């Protein structure tokens, strides 16, 4: 991983499998390209932030849905069209078929 000040950028040439603790799920937005999208963010195991976009929650199989405060494993690629160093895209943007929903962390 490359670091510059407080920003982090994973060093990825193509897709790389990452374990992410989902902490943020934005409100769904209509999209001409992807129908309906959600920006999702989380923390990698090393503590760095990652923004995952686009996430098509409407079209994800129920066993692939991710909740806030849940660990997931997903193939990610750095977004070359976004200036934010923490922005990544999932490999299978239409259905996230490579996503593995793992354990949830209780908040009570």
DSSP result, 58-71: GGS-GGG---TTEE
Q: How many domains does the chain have?
A: 1
Residue 69 domain boundaries: 2-104
At residue 1, the pLDDT reads: 45
- Predicted TM-score of the model (pTM): 0.75
pLDDT in tens, 35-74: 777 889 999 999 999 999 888 776 666 666 788 899 999 9
User: How many whole angstroms separate alpha carbon 5 and alpha carbon 64?
Assistant: 35
Residue 4: band (very low, low, confident or very high) from pLDDT cuts 50, 70, 90: very low
Quote the pLDDT of residue 48: 94
CATH number, residue 64: 2.40.50
Which residue, 24, 107, 26, 102, is CA-closest to 70? 102
């Amino acid at each position: 991983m490359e670091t510059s000040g407080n920003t982090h950028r994973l060093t990825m040439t193509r897709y790389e499998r990452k374990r992410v603790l989902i902490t943020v799920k934005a409100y769904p937005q209509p999209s001409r390209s992807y129908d309906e999208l959600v920006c999702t963010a989380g923390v990698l195991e090393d503590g760095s932030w990652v923004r995952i976009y686009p996430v098509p929650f409407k079209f994800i199989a129920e066993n692939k849905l991710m909740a806030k405060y849940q660990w997931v494993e997903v193939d990610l690629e750095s977004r070359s069209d976004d200036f934010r160093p923490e922005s990544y895209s999932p490999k299978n943007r239409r259905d996230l078929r490579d996503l593995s929903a793992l354990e949830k962390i209780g908040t009570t």
